[in-house]
Chain A
């Protein structure tokens, strides 16, 4: 039974952090304390291995069904590491399906606008190839065959798009590219703890969505690492966290369920102690809007157990590249990390809010988003510096401190999945 995070006593809590005196490695002795190699962040061969061992096998989040409000709503999603693109669409039967975004007549990319490498979205009742005008229905079947007499036998009528496995978790859409189908359902893959983690969170009320993305010259895992420890916060973001400059952040030990993780930030971000005018006037900060939404969120039991009152955030990490955070007093943030090459990645951030009841609340949500993004830009910029440092190969291995136990867990799982692939066994058994 994985151990549940335990917040320190209240008198030890510092805003956003905690003077936590328990050592993480004692809770997770299997992680060890040795040095870590970052070779898999700088070698093109690791990128090739991760393609097959991880991204062609794991369930991958591609966003939330809020992006597909109506029959025919669709978006495309690029998977550079798999050399493919998919169309995710809501069908006439309301079911969400995904198809490889490739026309089966001569291989043209089916749905794209302006530039074939760009993602797009919209609403359509059929997908027409820009090349020769063939039309495919929302179920992927041939619907409009141009010049039918010109085709040999049933070769034209038989064309259909190749479907990709889709499953939903609380509205979050996951796809799986495993050849021969996924060996586990999404629920089996996540495990019961993560699968039920949002059961007491009214996710259906978070209907307002913000989506942004950017690309940086760094390996995808280094951003995952940055967003899996808060130790850097008061240093890298010292301008924002000016009142925490002298705080050494210590998080309670995380809970590990297979390759997945539950991490918590305890304490409070009390209203009225904002450092800056912009925080005060917008009632928001680096942890986003501080205005409780129409339906206030209790600390999720899957992260804090019962009885916990003071909390800042919980992060559920679904291996390999999806993190969902719930921030007090009530908004949701997700990150996706997509490898483009061994030294380049795309980063996506989604934020979900309950509808603002008035202007002040909308202003708070939007200003909070901006403050978060300004800080994310600092994280992203620093990662290219990290990538350059790692690629110098000046050091063969690196020490991780006790606080960085989430990173240690992640890298152990990466190694495990690659080893399992090389040995032909199931990594997440």
Chain B
């Protein structure tokens, strides 16, 4: 069991989107087609309220590995969302000359 049982249908996304940090999530976003991003995002979006309710019921310190994976899928969805919803492009328009790297971030331990 890789995810809490009621979210086991999302396991197909773990290979690509269970990533440890912002930099790897952003790299995966840039490495994906819009079709792939839209599919992942829309499926996650439909489940997001349920996932939030489920995870909110537990303290971070009580998270099992399955719950940490589910949380990381949501964090990936948070990085993909702006590409699908706002920019309609994996790459932010007119950002070709810029680059960015996260040095410290808040992640579940």
Can you name the residue of chain A whose Cβ is closest to the Cβ of B87? A239
Contact partners of A321 in chain B: CB under 8 A: none
Q: Are A373 and B100 touching (Cβ within 8 A)?
A: yes
Q: Are A210 and B95 touching (Cβ within 8 A)?
A: no
Contact partners of B74 in chain A: CB under 8 A: 359, 363
Within 8 A of B (CB), among A277-330: 277-279, 281-282
Q: Are B49 and A212 touching (Cβ within 8 A)?
A: no
Q: Are B52 and A214 touching (Cβ within 8 A)?
A: no
Q: How many residues of A contact B (CB 8 A)?
A: 45
Can you name the residue of chain A whose Cβ is closest to the Cβ of B71? A359
- Report the bound CA distance from A384 to B98 in whole Å: 8
Q: Are B22 and A370 touching (Cβ within 8 A)?
A: yes
Contact partners of B104 in chain A: CB under 8 A: 67, 209-211
Q: Are A282 and B56 touching (Cβ within 8 A)?
A: no
Q: Are A214 and B78 touching (Cβ within 8 A)?
A: no
Known pairs A212-B103, A213-B103; A366 contacts B55 (CB<8 A)? no
B92: min CB distance to chain A, Å: 5
Contact partners of A384 in chain B: CB under 8 A: 97-98
B62: min CB distance to chain A, Å: 12
Q: Is B6 an interface residue (CB 8 A)?
A: no
Indicate with 1 or 0, residue by residue over A364-402, a CB within 8 angstroms of chain B CB atoms. 011101110111111111111100000000000000000
A369: min CB distance to chain B, Å: 8
Contact partners of B81 in chain A: CB under 8 A: 276-278, 281-282, 367, 370
Q: Are A359 and B55 touching (Cβ within 8 A)?
A: yes
Q: Is A422 an interface residue (CB 8 A)?
A: no
Q: Are B56 and A367 touching (Cβ within 8 A)?
A: no
Q: Are B87 and A382 touching (Cβ within 8 A)?
A: no
Indicate with 1 or 0, residue by residue over B25-61, a CB within 8 angstroms of chain A CB atoms. 0100000000000000100010011001001101010
Q: Which residues of B contact A (CB under 8 A)?
A: 22, 26, 41, 45, 48-49, 52, 55-56, 58, 60, 71, 74-75, 78-79, 81-82, 84-88, 92-106, 108
Given contact pairs A239-B87, A383-B97, a sample of 5 additional A-B residue pairs in the complex whose CB atoms are under 8 Å apart: A211-B102, A216-B99, A358-B56, A363-B75, A367-B78
